[in-house]
Amino acid sequence: MSTLLVLTNCPDETSANAIALAVVETGLAACVNILPRVQSIYRWQGGVESATEIPLLIKTTAANYAALETAIGERHPYEIPEIIALPVERGLPAYLNWVQAETVKS
């Protein structure tokens, strides 16, 4: 199984914590880092917008991606949330094994 780093941004601490807790509790992610607020500038509906957001770094497996995407989408307040998955090419084997073990469905 391959490991993924999934990125999303939330508008506030409440939604960031809710998403992080839900995906870890259900075994869809082994770990979620909730980062400090960032300023995002983006195009939306024909205009340029600016917002303060809270990034989440979600560690999961490729096998869990579809369910994780659904879980984020169900809890995310944005109409179209950023959900981007990046493959983890390399990492400490013990850590990658831990991610695999913590996201295996029983």
How remote is the C-alpha of 76 from its chain's centroid?
Answer: 11
Tokens read off for 90 = 């390399």
Residue 106: pLDDT band (50, 70, 90) is: very low
Is the domain spanning 3-102 CATH 3.40.50.300? The answer is no
DSSP 8-state code for residue 26: T
Closest CA to 78 of 47, 54, 46: 54
pTM of the model: 0.95
Q: Where are the domains of the chain?
A: 3-102
What is the mean pLDDT of the segment spanning 46-73?
97
In contact, 73 and 6? CB cutoff 8 Å: no
Tokens read off for 22 = 């839900």
